[in-house]
Chain A
């Protein structure tokens, strides 16, 4: 199982770009990288997923270097409503649900 390591917390100010990096040194060839966002008293929400290089959607960008041993979630121009816990997950295609562990996540606090 590919274990992930993320910072426990990060602070930012409104309007700034935020980059959250996740380390996954033991990532396997068939593993995908997925990021979720969780607000207090809510279930996690899927943000973005990638396998290699760069993926961008209307919410965020995901940068994955060639060795895939880490990934960076980039949130452009954050607002107060982006304050949440962000989880990085690594798991294989067709893998068991047991493989996808959420870990402790990164608490992002956006300050005015």
Chain B
């Protein structure tokens, strides 16, 4: 079944650690996105990619980085985690660029930095 997977589901990590949040999709979508969402708050776009070797920053400034070496894989990395990075991170993909293409979201990674 085509889907989008995020691991880990939950992560508690100490300040200063390097972490990578994994996102993979089996739908062959070219477009992939990372959103950040605090509890009860809006989703904010932090990174997006329109294809392999293409990445852009979103509206919300983020200290994270992303890479897109394979179509199906779009990992997000924090070089040095801080408590301010505590949030839920949601990965999504779409078949094409533009609002007419619906987004498919993963279940998210809830990150807590202590």
Contacts and interface: CB of A to CB of B under 8 A. Distances in A.
B104 interface: yes
Contacts of A105: 42
B29 to A, nearest CB: 13
B: contact size bracket: 20 to 34
Nearest to A104: B42
Contacts of B100: 32, 49, 93
13 contacts: A36-B103, A41-B108, A43-B91, A43-B107, A90-B99, A93-B98, A95-B99, A98-B48, A101-B42, A102-B42, A103-B42, A104-B42, A105-B42
Interface residues of A, number: 28
Contact of A42 (B41, B48, B99, B108): B108
Output the residue of A36, A46, A92 with the most chain B CB within 10 A.
A46
A111 to B, nearest CB: 20
A102 B103 CA distance: 12
Contact of B104 (A42, A46, A49, A94): A46
Contacts of B45: 97-98, 100-101
Interface string B88-102: 101110000111101
A68 to B, nearest CB: 13
B43 interface: yes
Interface string B17-32: 0000000000000010
